[in-house]
A and B are shown apart, each in its own frame.
Chain A
Amino acid sequence: MPREPIKLPQRVESLSVLAADGRIDADLEPALDPADLRRLYRTMLASRRLDERALALQRQGRLGTYGPSRGQEAASLGVAYALGKDDWLVPTFRETAGLLWRGWPMQTWLLYWGGFEAGNVPPAGVHDLPIAVPIASQCQYGMGVAWGCKLRGEGRVCATFCGDGGTSEGDFHEALNFAGVYNLPLVTVIQNNHWAISIPRSRQTASQTLAQKALAYGMDGVQVDGNDILAMIVATREAVEKARTGGGPTLIEAVTYRMSMHTTADDPKKYRTEDEVKAWEPRDPLLRFRAYLHKKGLLDESTAGALDAEIAAEIDQAVRQYEQYRQDPAEFLRHMYAELTPELQAQQAELQAYLERKHAPTPAPVP
């Protein structure tokens, strides 16, 4: 018997519940509370509108460099929904929808993109790490958090995110390897949006799927239609349940698409065709979810209109609060060391002297 296929105990599946054309797999459709469905839709819509607003604010010079999440809302939101309140979420910078679901206020999120330290502080009772930009660093943080959960034996789970580009980082592999060996309660979600800045998915790895990378680390992998909020919920629920009951880690590949530019400092026209973007438009997660709710009778034109106005007002309010926010300019010096080093003390004194010369108003942090 010299040559035969190796049977692996782990599986790699693909999952889709709500097709792009509106057909639904009744066997897989999760039974969700109608109130939850409406809240999910509201959050997805709010995320989309906030994303659009942030882009405009950046173009007006009112916000820093910004990375839009248009088109990826379901992949983030479905995961956040499937987590329990006491579970952990470790976001990349495209987790707007998920963070809103978890309870992050819009103005905090704006403060993050405005470059304020306060944008990194999760609201009370929310077990999330701040947005992290270094690619695949989230995998390591998430793995560490999951390990902590396991050591504490509280039955809590951690979900962590990275991009398709992130799977080429050492951090991704180290984290998955560790999570596999220690059987950690970790759900790693790859937001495969098909691009890592200008590098297409096809140049990222020769693997047919990203989900199959799970096999190398001894865990299950599942490739999910990431623009299908229902499929994302189903897949994450299963993974979270397994993790909570000692079944170990799972790798989820959410197949989605970055509808916008990489960040406001990027012009995707330089490396991808308009046709490619157009082809993804009918698969927009917001449109699909809206159609689903219409069919179910949970959303009509008038409620949709009221929702739009409500969200616009909410965003206006958040932008106002964001723009009124004042931070002690020396704040940025305070978070690296428990005690300021002599160099930092000198810098703080220099800054203080400068501000005094400038007659700067005394800073009053706004909660």
Chain B
Amino acid sequence: MFDFKLPDLGEGVHEGQIVHVLVKEGDALAEYQPMLEIETDKAAVEIPSPKAGTVAKIHVQAGQTVKVGHVLITIDDSAVGVGPPPKAAVQPAAAPTAAPARPAATVLTSSAVAPPPVRAAAPPVPPSAPPAKDGPVPAAPAVRKLARERGVDISAVPGSGPGGRILREDVERFSAGEQVARTATAGPVLPPAGGELPDFSQYGPVRREPVPQIRKTIARQMTRAWLNVPRVTHGDVADVTDLERNRQNFNAALEPGQAKLTITAIVTKAVAVALRDFPVLNCSFDAATEEVVYKDYVHLGIAVDTPRGLVVPVLRDADKKSLPQIAADLHAIAEKARTVKFEIADLRGATFSITNVGALGGKFFTPMVNFPEVGILGLGRAKLEPAVYEGHVVPRMMLPLALSFDHRVVDGAVAARFVSAVIRSLENPLRLISLA
């Protein structure tokens, strides 16, 4: 059997489109008989068969785009005694010492190697590890120079050019990505464990389901946060009795079409403003360089529970927006997240996150810092509780707050002050208004 692969059809041509398949499976094939017509961006060309034999399998169809190296047609050349012998079979008479036929790579890959044993769990490979390479790195001198200038190890750069050649853009992308990676993912990133689970079926019937991409992403992200962030949670309670009254009144007087003011929107505003005074909660920690990356913008990640799982879209420049604007934006992004209309870009770039489980109940919990952010504020359910107010025990509307923070950069005292600042805003609606 001979697999005919799309050859390199011309300078700079990496792919082509099948225009016609000129043979059928089972057809007898003469050497140099036209088999396919392929159009590249340079030319439409007819491909003649390199072998005599029969068409064993056609792997492509008209209209399909194929890349160089793609198997197009398998030719059964076993029954054919005439025509040029296969390349590797002939030793030139004049040169008995001649080496096996080129290309060497064919010889090596065709040597009998047993397929690797199937393993239940692949050995852990850090996702950011470059593919193992040996031998010269395929890159032009100008590209190597660029890599040197950027301080990039060229052997670590994945090449996107023909035959894995490393292009200028690859180096640029890599060097940009490396900077992000250095700040974003410094520290251990282990894949979720999973190789050593017991056989549960010995205890009763089980069923395995592959998890969707979103769950994989959540798992990876949570593992990364858990492993990298020495987290502490600071808890407090805000008296939002007056705020709630005002909020209800405000919503009652809304024009139709205006977004309702929610507790989340108000807390978002309060947090955004407080972050301006606490830049250390609006930063990232670069463990590799031992630097703090302060961000001159406030983009808040808002955790949204969707039917598919947790999604954290980003509300940009929250500190510069009015309260009604924030309410409207929150409504829009939550809707987008639930209807899966968001793009990856909508989920990137947050500087601090807010998660509100209050609608579902719960008082105090330990939110997970959304690494590489350093802080997240969790809201429990606001409810009427007996509180001591002006010397009397009275029912007050109390909102539990839980701030988780990365203790590498944020100390407990700073966290407590930050939460106090947020509470001051919530307990003092006039202060909130003055912030808008």
Residues in A lying within 8 Å of B, measured CB to CB: 56, 59-62, 65, 261, 263-267, 269, 316, 319-321, 323-324, 326, 350-351, 354, 357-364, 366-367
Whether A364 contacts B99 in the complex (CB less than 8 A), given A60-B48, A320-B90, A359-B108, comes out as: yes
Residues of chain A lying within 8 A (CB to CB) of residue B97: 364
> Is B135 touching A59 in the complex (CB atoms < 8 A)?
no
> Is A367 touching B94 in the complex (CB atoms < 8 A)?
yes
Whether A361 contacts B43 in the complex (CB less than 8 A), given A60-B7, A323-B87, A351-B136, comes out as: no
Residues of chain B lying within 8 A (CB to CB) of residue A361: 99-100, 104, 107
Closest A residue to B85 using CB positions: A320
Closest chain-B Cβ to A365's Cβ sits at a distance in Å of 8
Closest B residue to A317 using CB positions: B84
Whether A59 contacts B9 in the complex (CB less than 8 A), given A321-B92, A350-B136, A357-B134, comes out as: yes
| Residue in contact with A61 in the complex, picked from B5, B43, B87, B98, CB distance below 8 Å | B5
Closest chain-B Cβ to A48's Cβ sits at a distance in Å of 15
A316-B84, A358-B108 known; 14 other A-B pairs, CB under 8 Å?
A56-B32, A56-B48, A59-B9, A59-B47, A60-B7, A62-B50, A65-B10, A266-B42, A326-B101, A354-B134, A359-B108, A361-B99, A364-B99, A366-B95
In this assembly, does B409 line the interface, its C-beta being within 8 Å of a C-beta of chain A? Answer: no
Most chain-A Cβ atoms within 10 A of its Cβ — which of B42, B49, B94, B97?
B42
> Is B95 touching A59 in the complex (CB atoms < 8 A)?
no
Closest chain-B Cβ to A258's Cβ sits at a distance in Å of 15
> Is A264 touching B48 in the complex (CB atoms < 8 A)?
no
| Residue in contact with A324 in the complex, picked from B43, B48, B98, B134, CB distance below 8 Å | B98
Summarize A's interface: helix, strand, loop or mixed.
Answer: loop
> Is B104 touching A366 in the complex (CB atoms < 8 A)?
no
| Residue in contact with B95 in the complex, picked from A65, A319, A357, A364, CB distance below 8 Å | A364
Residues of chain B lying within 8 A (CB to CB) of residue A359: 108
> Is A323 touching B9 in the complex (CB atoms < 8 A)?
no
> Is B7 touching A367 in the complex (CB atoms < 8 A)?
no
> Is A360 touching B84 in the complex (CB atoms < 8 A)?
no
Closest B residue to A270 using CB positions: B43
Interface size on B (CB < 8 Å)?
40
Residues of chain A lying within 8 A (CB to CB) of residue B12: 265
| Residue in contact with A261 in the complex, picked from B43, B46, B135, CB distance below 8 Å | B43
In this assembly, does B341 line the interface, its C-beta being within 8 Å of a C-beta of chain A? Answer: no
Which 9 residue pairs spanning A and B have beta carbons closest together? A61-B7, A265-B10, A267-B43, A361-B99, A354-B135, A60-B50, A56-B48, A265-B11, A364-B98
Residues of chain B lying within 8 A (CB to CB) of residue A59: 7, 9, 45-48
Residues of chain A lying within 8 A (CB to CB) of residue B32: 56
A selection of 18 A-B contacts at a CB cut-off of 8 Å is A59-B48, A60-B7, A61-B5, A263-B10, A265-B9, A265-B11, A265-B43, A267-B42, A320-B84, A323-B87, A324-B87, A324-B98, A354-B135, A354-B136, A357-B134, A361-B100, A364-B97, A366-B98
In this assembly, does B13 line the interface, its C-beta being within 8 Å of a C-beta of chain A? Answer: yes
A173, B49: Cα distance in complex, Å: 45
Residues of chain B lying within 8 A (CB to CB) of residue A266: 10, 42-43
Closest A residue to B41 using CB positions: A267
Closest A residue to B96 using CB positions: A364
In this assembly, does B44 line the interface, its C-beta being within 8 Å of a C-beta of chain A? Answer: yes
B324-351 contact mask (Cβ, 8 Å, vs A): 1 or 0: 0000000000000000000000000000
A65, B43: Cα distance in complex, Å: 13
Closest B residue to A354 using CB positions: B135
A328, B365: Cα distance in complex, Å: 69
> Is A264 touching B95 in the complex (CB atoms < 8 A)?
no
Closest chain-A Cβ to B53's Cβ sits at a distance in Å of 14
Residues of chain A lying within 8 A (CB to CB) of residue B134: 354, 357
Closest A residue to B12 using CB positions: A265
Residues of chain B lying within 8 A (CB to CB) of residue A267: 42-44
Whether A324 contacts B92 in the complex (CB less than 8 A), given A65-B11, A316-B84, comes out as: yes
